Chains A and B, each alone.
Chain A
């Protein structure tokens, strides 16, 4: 059994303009010690899905299940979720400054966090642990900097502090929502490095939410590609890059400057409205291989390779992935 099993997750929001169907039938497994990358563009539903699982979406209509270690996170009450968050599920976000309280010292915040979940530990021990954690994530002179305030840290350092807090109680799962999007590349490399090292050391599973296919290539074991709230393709990392099946995955990769010659090959058009989704495949309007069936019937996620982990929601025959394998 996987550490986290999400099945048929549906999330929608009511807005004055209509119902926004943010996530539609998302299913995935996260295995212990593995990294699952959820990749997609703005509005693909990649962040909403994990926010829902951890009970952080307000005012949403949710259905489906998400079993974490035997507990369904969707139906769990707030106090159960609160206990799990932090202790079993660590989280880091794009903007570390908004997740750290500006008025309290870094060390105090980590100590509070540890003591909230571990009632036995003494203040001194918690503080020692906090300093260890800061050293672990590569903050120089951690023993001194533990008494600094968040604004005294740079963006990259703050994200390390967030990782330290998320890892404080040795969680089984770390959810990283665009953790390096706000950082410069050299700092991003440092932070990703820290994440990789901690994963090796503690065997933490990671859900990495990102729009950056480069980060996916560096970090992921398995990849889920989302578009307009639904999964387009799911596969082990190398299959996503070298034997992909879905035209959206192919289009995303082809849009990258590093992969093109003189001229880029963008995906024409813009994503559909989540309020009035088209009938059939959501990508049909932008797809170069579109045919009649795509516009009337939404393709289910089906196996497209011998590897059962590789599935694609596209009516094209499985050979499509072989065709571009070169």
Chain B
């Protein structure tokens, strides 16, 4: 009851005339979080690497899919380790791993963002509808969420891809289709509690209709948890995409992507450590950066610190 936060809230006479929105406050807190800021810098570096992947080709002179069977492979036909020409070594076909990691970042980020976007849009709309409208809509959607969440994702993904053939679009759609349910569940839960809040009743007493209440009163309050969930969802999606590629369900060769590279390196991990090490590190650093950043975002948006 009498915690410090409580008292600040009661007593602190606000100073600024321009109101500080909860969002601005969260960003303010986030900027003070060192780990999150370092993670953000790492994420930005990875994004830059993806955007400027051709620059890596220009500097090294190695296009991503060019197979250097002469200089890129040992006389026994094995990958070459890091050296002056191939900074991070070559793969089993004599391609430059550094350049392929840079190009692979494009795939990971693209899928990460696109699939997450689909997930969030579907999840928020359906979650909002289920939670707010209630009744039969809610029953149907809630059951649908349960069904989607209980489908063995990988099995169905494998089956789907083997029917349609692997492609970027299929990957994005498959991931998006199977991930929205958890977002919808979160949003639905939030809306169910928000719907009972007095400010919604207040809006009703003013004569506001359902649409207005849903979008003007409820949606802004759902955004914070959705942002938090989204930043934590991106690394999951990236790993999922890598997993699909690893299983041969990703992008058709010779497109460079991290999961495919790790998959191809399997037979060489005793002879060519760099082949598995560098794509693996790229994946690890990316997901770690997103996760740490996501943690920071969650702490910054924590409603308990809303008022400080």
Contact = CB atoms under 8 A, between A and B. Distances in A.
Is A–B contact present in the complex under a CB 8 A cutoff?
Answer: yes
Given A16-B308, A17-B308, A274 B8 contact: yes
Given A15-B4, A20-B4, A94-B1, A271 B12 contact: no
Contacts of B1: 47, 94, 177-178
B163 interface: no
Interface in B149-166: none
Contacts of B10: 42-43, 271
A186 B13 CA distance: 37
Contacts of A43: 2, 6-7, 10-11
Contacts of A274: 7-8, 11
Interface string B26-44: 0001000000000000000
Contact of A15 (B2, B8, B13, B29): B8
Contacts of B5: 15
A48 B4 CA distance: 9
Interface string B122-162: 00000000000000000000000000000000000000000
The winner among A13, A15, A17 for most chain B CB atoms within 10 A is A15
Contacts of A178: 1
A43 B10 CA distance: 7
Given A15-B308, A17-B308, A273-B13, A48 B2 contact: yes
A270 B10 CA distance: 9
Which DSSP category, helix, strand, loop or mixed, fits chain B's interface? helix
Contacts of A16: 29, 305, 308
Contacts of B6: 42-43
Contact of A13 (B4, B11, B13): B4
A272 B11 CA distance: 6
A136 interface: no
A63 interface: no
B13 A22 contact: no
B12 A22 contact: no
Contact of B8 (A20, A45, A94): A20
Contacts of B29: 16
A62 interface: no
Contacts of A228: 11
A273 B11 contact: yes
A301 interface: no
Interface string A1-43: 0000000000001111100101000000000000000000011
Given A16-B308, A47-B2, A48-B2, A22 B7 contact: yes
A275 B29 CA distance: 19
B12 A275 contact: yes
B2 A22 contact: yes
Interface string A36-60: 0000001101011001000000000
A268 to B, nearest CB: 14
Contacts of A47: 1-2
Contacts of B305: 16
Contacts of A42: 6-7, 10
B12 to A, nearest CB: 5
Interface of A: 13-17, 20, 22, 42-43, 45, 47-48, 51, 94, 177-178, 228, 270-275
12 contacts: A13-B4, A14-B4, A20-B4, A45-B2, A47-B2, A177-B1, A271-B11, A273-B11, A273-B12, A274-B7, A274-B11, A275-B8
Given A42-B10, A271-B11, A275-B12, 16 more contacts: A13-B4, A15-B8, A15-B308, A16-B305, A17-B8, A17-B12, A20-B4, A20-B7, A22-B4, A43-B2, A43-B10, A47-B1, A228-B11, A272-B13, A274-B8, A275-B8
Nearest 3 A-B pairs (CB), nearest first?
A13-B4, A47-B2, A43-B7
